[in-house]
Amino acid sequence: KNEVEQSPQNLTAQEGEFITINCSYSVGISALHWLQQHPGGGIVSLFMLSSGKKKHGRLIATINIQEKHSSLHITASHPRDSAVYICAGTTSGGGADGLTFGKGTHLIIQP
Amino acid sequence: DADVTQTPRNRITKTGKRIMLECSQTKGHDRMYWYRQDPGLGLRLIYYSFDVKDINKGEISDGYSVSRQAQAKFSLSLESAIPNQTALYFCATQQGSGGYTFGSGTRLTVV
């Protein structure tokens, strides 16, 4: 069974801090997605990674295929970054049968 | 207009009632998915569809049915709603093996 584990479950930090959220996944998962869910409930796709590193603004996502581990980093964190961050895996074959989700990391950035 | 639109946004219904949640997309994506989100459990796959003639059960399809009326429309039905179907429901689309686009979610309460 494909599995995705995230840590930490909850993270509170001060504005400006460097944030790291970790995700480990099982054999059979070929790509990792990082998603953001704001308190209003909507889900936004941030990154999709199968190798290396991607950057968008203050967000950086990395993946280590050998260790089956991915990280999401937020530089110069801001209260508007407060959200639930979810990693999710797709299986080999393009994830035709959908995503396997981690349980999410609830991030609070305090001013 | 949003790329993936879900209606209704919120719904309260009584046990035993039939209810339909609707999803429409303007992305032109072939693949469409229905997920439910429960606190502490993360998101889980209910049904998915690759095209109008292709419907597949996901991890938790019991008690649900779907209809892919057109490439752009994918509806989820609860034939006889029960309280443990109270959850946040998300529709998502995917083109090929690329990233996902999520709808804003439907908050369903069964009383």
A104 touches chain B (CB under 8 A): yes
Q: What φ, ψ does residue A103 adopt, rounded to 5°?
A: -85, -5
Q: What are phi and psi of B57, to 5 degrees?
A: -80, 145
Q: What is the DSSP letter of B29?
A: -
- Condensed to tens digits (0 to 9), the pLDDT of residues A39-98 reads 877 899 999 998 999 999 999 999 999 999 999 999 999 999 999 999 999 876 555 567
Q: Mark the ranges of chain B whose per-residue pLDDT is less than 70.
A: 1
Q: Give the distance from residue A41's alpha carbon to the nearest chain B alpha carbon, in angstroms.
A: 7
Instruction: Classify B85 as helix, strand or coil.
Output: helix
Pairing of strands A69-74, A19-25: antiparallel
**Mutation site for B-interface testing, chosen from A43, A87, A105 by largest number of B Cβ within 10 Å:** A43
